[in-house]
């Protein structure tokens, strides 16, 4: 046989052997990550009380409507979670998995079922921290999601469709980074990792892992082809860096610290970019400046296009919202913007945004526990509970059904206008007045429901 042919055949055999070795190494790496991470991923079963909406309840009360349905019933929600602190039993998951849950049960890979309590929730990021008391549990280390690259391999671990399918592992790549407007009808802080690793209902709250075995995302949402709820190759995860910040605040403070700039912003259209001779549509256009806000104090004006914030290039308005909210309040920040075709740098000192919600849930300080959660009245909450958005007071968004407040007749959607004889103008005022009232061991609340106001008195739990 020709010597050159022999050499070519030998080289080909060597190449095929090397490729086979690489494939085996890659397959082994995926299996190692899955084996290491699986014990730290849990299945979450949350029992929720579902209430029929008001219109259906009225229809349900007609005598010819049979059978008579209950005004509320129990429902079981399935999700996933990730143990991120084995010593303290902290678990990261999605807020929508445990929202409104009255009983939360965690199933570990060894089939142990353990009750969990809520440490804190953050609807704005759709994240929550819950806690279990258990020995011999494993955690997944947090990775740096900023290091992710499009095309990088990732694994998704969770419980799709059923607890019987717990610890299912799927593989894919990072399809895109920084996805926003994924859920346009919400006011979430959106900065999603997009992946084609299969994510299905029940995977929410589960782990997205890099090949180092680090947690780089919390699986949260899927894009479907319409009414079908199954995976279509497009899934979204909350970056671990956002989750790390939210988790730390929830554990240490009980709420998430966020900054605000005080501007209403929109996209930079093609026409605007052409008119101002901008090379790209990156940035956020200021359409309104809030009075007495950090933006107004610093000199930001309507029509400004914010291009950079603290050296980070701003892609769009959603990106600016995320960057501002994660910046520490009280520190000076540099804003690079375009005004009337000229580039300007403005220094702005961000302020902490007023918390929308003040919780008095069962895991809070029992000395001032009312068993209710209140929020400042926003347009979104006004629409949800059918109240006047200009109403004075704070609105009840959650209530412990075992609390004295619930026993007294207070319900979700009620507006608290006074504590005793003192007016309530915000959640901070409400919190202060409740703190003063705790010394008397009972409290008197003036509550507005519809057009009628009534006083409710009960002992503080």
pLDDT tens, N- to C-terminus, the chain (461 residues): 566 665 666 667 666 666 666 667 778 888 888 888 889 999 998 887 666 554 444 444 444 444 555 666 567 788 899 999 989 999 999 998 988 788 889 999 888 999 998 888 888 888 999 999 888 899 999 999 989 999 999 999 988 887 777 788 888 899 998 887 776 555 677 888 899 888 888 888 899 999 998 999 999 887 655 555 666 678 899 999 999 999 998 888 888 888 888 888 888 878 777 777 788 888 888 888 888 889 989 999 888 889 999 988 988 888 888 889 888 888 899 999 988 888 899 999 998 876 544 433 323 333 346 888 888 887 777 877 888 888 889 999 888 777 888 888 898 889 999 888 788 988 888 888 887 777 677 788 889 988 888 878 788 76
**Radius of gyration of the chain, Cα coordinates, nearest whole angstrom:** 26
Residue 348, pLDDT score: 93
Cα distance between residue 308 and residue 306, in whole Å:
6
What CATH number should be reported for the domain whose range is 34-255? 2.40.10.120
pTM of this structure? 0.66
Question: Exposure of 393 by Cβ count < 10 A (0-12 exposed, 13-18 middle, 19+ buried)?
Answer: buried
Cα distance between residue 13 and residue 404, in whole Å:
78
User: Which of helix, strand or coil describes residue 327?
Assistant: coil
**Which structure tokens are listed for 370?**
């009312």
| Residues paired with 168 in a beta bridge | 158
CB 217, CB 152: distance < 8 Å:
no
Residue 455, pLDDT score: 79
Q: Where are the domains of the chain?
A: 34-255, 259-352, 357-459
Residue 144, pLDDT score: 93
User: Would you say the CATH fold of 357-459 matches that of 34-255?
Assistant: no
| Residues paired with 179 in a beta bridge | 192
Helix, strand, coil in percent for the chain, rounding step 5: 25, 35, 40
Residue 270, pLDDT score: 80
Catalytic residues: 96, 126, 204
Question: Exposure of 244 by Cβ count < 10 A (0-12 exposed, 13-18 middle, 19+ buried)?
Answer: middle
Beta strand 153-158 with 342-349 is: unpaired
Residue 358, pLDDT score: 41
In angstroms, the Cα distances linking 369 to 364, 397, 422 are 7, 15, 19
Residue 59, pLDDT score: 42
Cis bond upstream, residue 4 (ω within 30)? no
Cα distance between residue 285 and residue 302, in whole Å:
8
Residue 395, pLDDT score: 92
Q: Is 141 left (phi over 0), alpha (psi -120 to 50) or beta?
A: beta
Topology (CATH level 3) of domain 259-352: Pdz3 Domain (2.30.42)
Architecture of domain 357-459: Roll (2.30)
User: Which of helix, strand or coil describes residue 7?
Assistant: helix
H and E: helices and strands count for the chain: 10, 28
């Amino acid at each position: 046989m020709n010597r050159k042919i022999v050499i070519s055949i030998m080289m080909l055999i060597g190449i095929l052997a090397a490729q086979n070795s690489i494939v085996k190494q890659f397959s082994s790496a995926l299996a190692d990550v899955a084996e290491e991470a699986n014990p730290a991923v849990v299945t979450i079963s949350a029992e929720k009380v579902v209430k029929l909406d008001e219109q259906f309840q009225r229809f349900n009360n007609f005598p010819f409507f049979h059978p008579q349905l209950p005004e509320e019933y129990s429902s079981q929600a399935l999700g996933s979670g990730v143990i991120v602190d084995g010593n303290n039993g902290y678990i990261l998951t999605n807020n929508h998995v445990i929202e409104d849950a009255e009983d939360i049960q965690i199933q570990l890979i060894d089939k142990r079922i353990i009750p969990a309590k809520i440490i804190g929730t953050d609807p704005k990021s759709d994240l929550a921290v819950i806690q279990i008391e258990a020995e011999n549990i494993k955690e997944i280390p947090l990775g740096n999601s900023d290091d992710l690259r499009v095309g990088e391999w990732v694994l998704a671990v969770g419980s799709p469709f059923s607890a019987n399918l717990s610890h299912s592992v799927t593989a894919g790549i990072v399809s895109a980074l920084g996805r926003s407007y994924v859920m346009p009808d919400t006011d979430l802080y959106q900065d999603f990792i997009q992946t084609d690793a299969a994510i299905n209902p029940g995977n929410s709250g589960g782990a997205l892992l890099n090949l180092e075995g680090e947690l780089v995302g919390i699986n949260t949402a899927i894009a479907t082809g319409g009414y079908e709820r199954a995976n279509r190759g497009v899934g979204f995860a909350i970056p671990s860096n956002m989750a790390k910040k939210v988790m730390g605040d929830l554990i240490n403070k009980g709420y998430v610290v966020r900054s605000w700039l005080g501007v209403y912003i929109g996209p930079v259209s093609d026409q605007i970019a052409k008119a101002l001779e901008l090379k790209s549509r990156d940035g956020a256009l200021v359409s309104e400046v809030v009075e007495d806000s950090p933006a107004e104090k610093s000199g930001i004006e309507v029509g400004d296009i914010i291009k950079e914030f603290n050296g980070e290039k701003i892609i769009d308005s959603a990106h600016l919202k995320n960057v501002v909210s994660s910046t520490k309040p009280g520190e000076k920040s540099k804003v690079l913007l375009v005004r009337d075709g000229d580039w300007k740098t403005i220094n702005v000192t961000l302020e902490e945004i007023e918390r929308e919600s003040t919780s008095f849930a069962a895991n809070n300080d029992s000395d001032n526990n009312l068993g209710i959660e209140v929020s400042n009245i926003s347009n979104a909450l006004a629409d949800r509970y059918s109240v006047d958005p200009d109403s004075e007071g704070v609105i009840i968004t959650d209530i412990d059904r075992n609390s004295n407040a619930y026993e007294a007749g207070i319900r979700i959607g009620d507006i608290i206008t006074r504590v005793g004889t003192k007016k309530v103008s915000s959640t901070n005022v409400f919190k202060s007045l409740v703190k003063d009232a705790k010394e008397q061991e009972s409290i008197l609340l003036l509550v507005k429901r519809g057009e009628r106001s009534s006083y409710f008195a009960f002992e503080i739990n």
